Amino acid sequence: MRTLWRNAHLVTLAEANGWGFIRRGALIVDDATLRWVGSDADLPAGLSVDAEHHLDGELVTPGLVDCHTHLVYGGQRAREFELRLEGASYEDIANAGGGIRSTVAATRAAGDGALFYAARLRALALMAEGVTSLEIKSGYGLSALHEARCLRVARRLGEELALTVRTTCLSAHALPPEFEGRADDYIAAVCAWLPSLHAEKLVDAVDAFCERIAFTPAQTRRVFETAHALGLPVKLHAEQLSDSGGAALAAEFGALSCEHLEYLSEAGVQAMAKAGSVAVLLPGAYYFLRETQLPPVAALRAAGVPIAIATDHNPGSSPTLSPLLMLNMACTLFRLTPEEALRGMTVNAARALDLRDRGTLTVGRRADFVAWNVEHPNELSYWFGYNPCARVIAGGKERSAE
C-alpha cells in the first residue's frame, strides 16, 4: 500500500549534523518503508497513491527509540526512595537485601499475566510520547525459569503492540539469594542458561552489570565469551558507581553500547571510540539517585563516540515513563544540545540496538515517525510536563490510541 503524508515540517536528521529541516515537506510510504522524502512542491508528477494524509503543518521527526529499559518486573520500590531521602545510600540498601533483590522477589511471585499487563501499561505510556522502538532487559528473574518468563513477556509486548521490542538478557544483573556468597557459581549458571534462551529466540543481545556491588570484570568476561560463542552482541552497565574498566572490556567484544558511564575514564572513552560502541547516558537514574559525578560528555564528543539517551525505566533508580523528560534532563543535567538529545533518542539509540533501518527520515528507512504540535524541534527538550505528541506512525501505519 502506498501512502502520502504531506503538509508537514520535516526534521530528517539525515546528515551527521544539523536538523535536516524540510519546510512544507512530504513523505511517501510503501507499506512499512519510506520511499520518498522531500518538499511538498517537488512531489513526483502523476503520483498515484492509495491514501493521502494531511499533517496540518505539524513538525515530524523520526520515531523515538528508548534503547535502555527494564519494563518487565513486579512490585515497586517507593519505600527505598524514602529510605534514601532519610540518608541511606543505593549501596546500603542493596547490601541490606533491598534494591534489585526486592524486585526479584516480587517478580518471581507475580504471574505471567500480571507481569504482562503491568509492562503493557508502562509500554503504552512510553508510546504515548512518541516511542516506536524500545529495548527491554531481563534481570529481575535471576533464575533460568524466571528469566525466560520475563523475556517471553517482553516478546509478547512486541507481538501485541504497534511497537518494535528488542530483548536483552541481563541475567548477570545481581546475585540472587540462593547463590549468596557464590558469585562465580551464579555466573556459571547464567552461562549455562544462555544457549537455551537463545535457542528459544528470546534474546537479541546480552548485558551485564559490571560494578563493585554486582559482578567483576572477570565474571563479566565469562558471560561475554558465552554470548560471543552464540553469535549474540553484547552491551554493558558500566562505570555507574566507580571505574571498573568495564567499558574497555565491553569494547574488546565490540559492544553495541556501554550504559550509564558516569565514572568512565579517558581510556574507556578511547576504547569505545575504537570499537564503535554507543554511549547510552541515563539522566533519569542520575537525577533520581542524586548523583554528582557527570558522565564525560566533552570527552565522548571529542572522541566521536555516539551518544544515546534512554529512560532506563526501572523500579529502583529511574521510575520514569517520560522519554520527553529525559530529553530535557539530558540538556539541563548533562549539557547536551537539543539536537544532540534528539539524535540521542533517534539515530544513536537505534544504533545502540543495532536497528540500522530507522532513526532518520531518509529513503529506505522504516516508516516510523511522529507528528508533534510544536514549531521547532528544540521544543521537544524545552517543555517538560507537557506532551505535544499529535500522532505516531509505526511501520507506515498510524497508531491508534490504546
Residue 29: which CATH number?
2.30.40.10
- Same domain assignment for residues 229 and 279: yes
- Same domain assignment for residues 177 and 231: yes
Does residue 113 surpass a pLDDT of 70? Answer: yes
Mean pLDDT score, 83-108: 86
- Same domain assignment for residues 23 and 159: no
Parent domain of 370: 2-62+360-398
Does residue 401 surpass a pLDDT of 70? Answer: no
State how far the Cα of 304 lies from the Cα of 221, in Å rounded to an integer: 26
State how far the Cα of 219 lies from the Cα of 196, in Å rounded to an integer: 20
Distance of CA 174 to the CA centre of its chain: 20
Least confident interval from 79-93, 197-211, 279-293, 330-344: 79-93
- Same domain assignment for residues 91 and 183: yes
Mean pLDDT score, 101-130: 97
Mean pLDDT score, 65-75: 98
Single-letter amino acid code for the residue at 80: E
Beta-bridge mates of residue 37: 27
- Same domain assignment for residues 107 and 148: yes
Q: Is 62 exposed, middle or buried (0-12, 13-18, 19+ CB in 10 A)?
A: buried
**Contact yes or no for 220/245 (Cβ under 8 A):** no
Q: What is the CATH number of the domain that holds 203?
A: 3.20.20.140
Residues 118-160 pLDDT 10s: 999 999 999 999 999 999 999 999 999 999 999 999 999 999 9
Give Cβ neighbours of residue 346 (< 8 Å, ≥ 6 apart). Answer: 13, 61, 62, 63, 64, 65, 359, 360
Q: What is the pLDDT of residue 96?
A: 77
Q: What is the pLDDT of residue 92?
A: 82
Mean pLDDT score, 207-230: 97
Does residue 368 surpass a pLDDT of 90? Answer: yes
Q: What is the pLDDT of residue 22?
A: 98
- Same domain assignment for residues 79 and 55: no
- Same domain assignment for residues 27 and 146: no
**Contact yes or no for 247/258 (Cβ under 8 A):** yes
Does residue 402 surpass a pLDDT of 70? Answer: no
Q: What is the pLDDT of residue 303?
A: 98
- Same domain assignment for residues 252 and 386: no
Residues 306-351 pLDDT 10s: 999 999 999 999 999 999 999 999 999 999 999 999 999 999 999 9
- Same domain assignment for residues 97 and 57: no
Q: Name the percent of the chain lying above pLDDT 90.
A: 93
Radius of gyration of the chain (CA): 21
Q: What is the pLDDT of residue 400?
A: 77
Mean pLDDT score, 246-262: 97
Residues 372-397 pLDDT 10s: 999 999 999 999 999 999 999 999 99
- Same domain assignment for residues 378 and 392: yes
Single-letter amino acid code for the residue at 39: S
**Total domains in the fold of the chain:** 2
Mean pLDDT score, 250-255: 98
- Same domain assignment for residues 175 and 49: no
Residues 150-191 pLDDT 10s: 999 999 999 999 999 999 999 999 999 999 999 999 999 999
Does residue 86 surpass a pLDDT of 70? Answer: yes
State how far the alpha carbon of 391 is from the alpha carbons of 116, 127, 128, in Å.
25, 10, 9
- Same domain assignment for residues 130 and 214: yes
